[in-house]
Every structure is written in structure tokens, then in C-alpha cells.
Amino acid sequence: LNVTEEEFVLATLAGCTEYKSILDVVVNAFYVQDGRYCPISERNLYIVICYLATFQLDEIGLQHFSRIVKSLDTAKMQQFLRFFFNDLYLNTWIKDEWSHFYDSAYVKENWIDPLVRWQPKVQKLIEKLTDKLSNRTTTVKTLRVTQPKEFNLTVPKPRAIAPPSPAPLPALPKRQPVPPSIYKPPKERKQLEEIKTKNIQKATDLLLKANTNQFRCATIKPEKREFLCRIISAVLVLWSQISCEQACLLFKTMYLDTAHKHFLTQYFEELTKQPQDPIDNIPIKLNTAAILREGALCQRKLEEELKRIENLQQGAGDSSEFLEWQKQMRGKDLEEQLAEIECRRLQGKLSYEEAVLAHQNVIQENKKKADLLREEKAELMHLYAEKRLQEQKEVKELVEQVMEGHKNVKQVKAKIQEYKQQIVQQVCEESGELRRQALEEKEDQNRKRYELIQQIRAIESIPSIRHKFVDLTETGGHGLFGEMSIVELRERLALLKEAQKAAEEEKRDQIIHEKQAKEQLILDKLDQIAQFRAELGRAAALKQEEKKKSQSGERPMKDERILNLQKKIEEKTMERKKQAGLL
């Protein structure tokens, strides 16, 4: 390097080192946002460009800066300059981050305002780089060709006149080869084949899934166990009002899966065959809340029974006849409800048979429509092939016209190249003078900075005393109520801890006494519950024997509507089987 270039490189290196903190703010943000895919090895390149644009653009000028930028990679420089000279970024977060290191007024006056002032001119440079990226034109250098000279040979003697040679045959123009697209099938046919294969694959997957899951209804899913438990609990409530046969008929008429119906009917048939265990023999583990709750229930029932006995002694009537009548009416309502449920189930089965017949009719209509669509598709493919041939003829004519226009472009390019070379020579002469002036101004500025740094270092080298002694027995002297020293504060905290321990011991003794009293109360409740359960077991056994005797002669009757619906379903099933045989 010559002296001028060496001074410029050293000044740039010193500036990048001095302002490294504020340059790292911009470059780090660029790598986070727009330069995510840029290699980290080019970080120093972006730091140098950022330093020149921020601190040296007024000295070196836009022309010299443009030469430096254009000598580097066009895509990288266009991306970084577009990010750095964004007006919104300069006035917001870049200004705020630089204000953490220097005074905000100094940052705005000396750095932000010049960048905003240069922003329109730099934007033109960015547009030129963008155009260069979009065009990507490469100039081929024309080499100097050697011009041969003829030899100075002896002129031969004229020969005798020979018969005229025949006229040369005219050269035929070279024909273009036939495009390979003519021998290839059209793309539409390939797309239709792909769609057809996808539909076949989808149909096979659905068939396989249907075959694998066809017996899924035979297993009880975990999410339906809660529903079955609710049904069992509801029927157990009505167990005293309906017979076992009525319960099995109720489960058959419900809209449940086959496995659920079979499970419930088998469960209740076995329930009637097995002898009922007394309630007292069932082991039940109760917690404290359950014991207290059941004890309150036993006490309430005992009080109600005593009140009823007192009312009978005073001459009140017995409600047993009304309860018997109510039981008979509920039995009739239940039989009507079962018949209505059976009718609804048969109506649903009848509608299913009708839907199957309608579906078979729709399949026949769809087959006819598919035949019509195939014929229309063949006609459309024929028209498309003719249109394709016409478009190929038009493209051939357009290519011939474009080839004629390319012949006149080479002359225009040669003239433009000569004009650009003249402009480059003028720019180089002007940039040399501007560079000398910028170096002189930079030397003065560096000398002033060096003197200012020496003064700041001399001020920082003066030592300062920062020791302070603390007495723990003295108060702070802030003038507050209840102000005390650290020693007094520690003594008061020790007294408070002793008082807190004494309160905790007293509370612990109180909790132990309350716990013993509660345990004794629970034991009394358990004795009361055991007596009450024994009495309930005896009453339930007597009631079960009476119910078996009363329900031995009852049998469910079928309704006329159910018989009619069953006949209709059999007719529709026969008709559906005949239609399926025809299909």
C-alpha cells in the first residue's frame, strides 16, 4: 500500500476498535433479523461498512463509499445497507441503544442526524444494487483478433477459357428439431391417473379399517362403564316396583349396543337366581365424614319413626293403602312406557330398511351419470389436443421473430461500453483529490481525540477514600418514631421468638384434647349405625319375600302396534334382499 492508503486503513482499524460497543449493537441486530443465514466469519466486514457509513461518510464522500460497496458482494451489501439505513430503526432502537454508551443529545446531533440526511442518497445506491441483482448481466471482453495478410505471390498466367461452371445450389435453411413434447402424453392424463390411484388406495384403507373394526361393538369401552353403572343404580331403585322379566325387557328395548344389552340382562337374571345376602354382612370402610353423615341420617330416620308412632297413637290414618295403589299405578305406567319404547325401536328399524332401499336406488342413478361423464370427458380431451397443436404453431412463429431482433443488440452494447469507460476515468480523477482532503481532516480530528483521552486518564488516576466505619449500638439518626440500633433490634427479635414458641405449645395441647373428644364421638356414632343397619337388613329380607310371592304370576303382554311394526319390517327386509340380488 502507498502512504495514503496505509493511513486510511490504520484510521479505519482504530475507529472500529474505539467504537466497538456501538458497532456491535447494529451488527448483532442484523444477524438476529435479516442476516440469520449469513456466515459469522463475515462479521468484521459488516463492522467496517457500519463504521464507514456512521463516522466517515462525510469525509470520504458518497462516491468513494459507493466504490467500496460495489467492490464487495452485491447481495450482502444490499441486505446490510437496507437494514442499517432504515429510517424507523435509526430513530427508535438504534438511537436508544447508542444512548446507553453516550449522551443522547450527542448521539442525535453527531451520528443519527447525518445518517438520516444521507439516507435518500444511500437509498439510490441500494436501488442500483437491487437492479444489478435482478439483471445479473455479465459483460464478455472482446479479444483482439490477429488480422492475416496475403502473401505477395507471382500472378499466374491467364488460362484458357473453360466452360462456365454450373450455378451453386441454394443452401436450405436449417430446420428446427421436433420438440420432444409432441411424443409425450398430456399432463392431464397423468394427473387423472394419479387421482385414480389415490382414490383406490383410500377405498382399500377404508375397507381394511371397516373389516378390522366390525366386532368393536362386542367390547365394553371404559368411557361407557360409568353409563352402565348409572343404569344399574337406577334399576336397583326401581327393583322394588318391577319384576326381573320387566327389567330384562327394558334393557332389550333401550338404544344400547348388543354387548351392553346382553351384559345387563345376564346380570339381572343371575341376580334373581342368587340368594340375597343380608345388608349387615357387607364390609364397608367409612371415613370420619361418612360416619358423621350416616349417624345424622340414622338419627333423623329414628325421629321420623317415633313421630309416626305418636301420630298413630293419637288417631291418625295409615298410608299403606295409598302406597299400594301408587305402586300399582306405577307398574301400569312402566308397562306402557316399555311398549312405547319397543314401538320406537321397531320404527327405527323400519326406517333403516327404507334407507337401505333408497341407497340402492341412488347407486343405480350414479352409475348412469358416471357413463355420461366419461363420454363428455373423451370429447373434452379431443378438443384440448387440437388447441395444444394450435398453440405450438403460434410459439414457433414468435421464436422466429425474437431471433431476428437479437441481431441488432450487439452494436448497441459496444457503444454503451465505450461511454461507461469515459465516465470511470473522470470519476477516478475526482476521487483522488477528495481523498487527500479527507485524510488531512482526519489527522486533525485524531490529534484532538488523543489530547482529550490523555486528560480523561489523568483525572481518573486521582485516588479517592471510600471507607466508612459502622457502630452497631448507635441509631441511624433519621428522626423516625421507634428508631433503634441493630443490637436492640436483635434482642427484641429473640424475645418475640420465645413468645411465639410458648403460643405454639399451648395451641398443640388444645388440638390434642379436641382430637380425643372427636374420636370418642365417632365411636358412639359407629355403634348407633351398626344397630340401625341390623334393623334395616331384617326389614329388607321380609320385603323381598313378599315381592317374590306377588310377582310370581305376572307376564309381559305385547301391544298390537308392536306386532304390526314387526310384520312391516319383515316385508321390507325381503324386498331389500331381492333388490340386493338384482344389483
pLDDT in tens, the chain (583 residues): 788 888 888 888 888 888 888 888 888 888 888 888 888 888 888 888 888 888 888 888 888 888 888 888 888 888 888 888 888 888 888 888 888 888 888 888 888 888 888 888 888 888 888 888 887 544 445 667 788 888 888 877 777 665 566 667 777 777 788 888 888 888 888 899 999 999 899 888 888 887 777 655 545 555 555 555 555 555 554 444 455 555 555 555 554 555 555 555 665 555 555 444 444 445 566 788 888 888 888 888 888 888 877 877 777 666 667 777 888 888 888 888 888 888 888 888 888 888 888 888 888 888 888 888 888 888 888 888 888 888 888 888 888 777 776 666 667 777 788 888 888 888 888 887 888 888 888 888 888 888 888 888 888 776 655 556 677 888 877 778 878 888 888 999 999 999 999 999 999 999 999 998 888 888 888 888 888 888 888 888 888 887 777 665 544 445 677 788 888 888 888 887 887 777 6
The pLDDT score that the predictor gives to residue 255 is 46
Write the burial class of residue 468 (CB in 10 Å: 0-12 exposed, 13-18 middle, 19+ buried): exposed
Q: How far apart are CA 301 and CA 209, in angstroms?
A: 58
pTM over 0.75: no
> How is 139-194 classified by DSSP, letter by letter?
PPPPPPPP------PPPPPPPPPPPPPPPPPPPPPPPPPPPGGGGSPPHHHHHHHH
Q: How far apart are CA 288 and CA 83, in angstroms?
A: 72
Q: In this structure, are residues 1 and 9 in contact, taking their beta carbons and an 8 Å threshold?
A: yes
Alpha helix segments (H runs only) across 56-86: 57-70, 74-84
> How is 513-524 classified by DSSP, letter by letter?
HHHHHHHHHHHH
Alpha-carbon distances, residue 538 vs 113, 534, 535, 544 (angstroms): 101, 7, 5, 10
The pLDDT score that the predictor gives to residue 222 is 53
Domain ranges of the chain: 3-137, 222-258
The pLDDT score that the predictor gives to residue 506 is 93
The pLDDT score that the predictor gives to residue 495 is 94
Q: In this structure, are residues 572 and 261 in contact, taking their beta carbons and an 8 Å threshold?
A: no
Look at residues 292, 353, 352 and name the one whose alpha carbon lies nearest to residue 526: 292
Q: How many CB atoms lie within 10 A of CB 136?
A: 7
Place of cell 490504520: 10
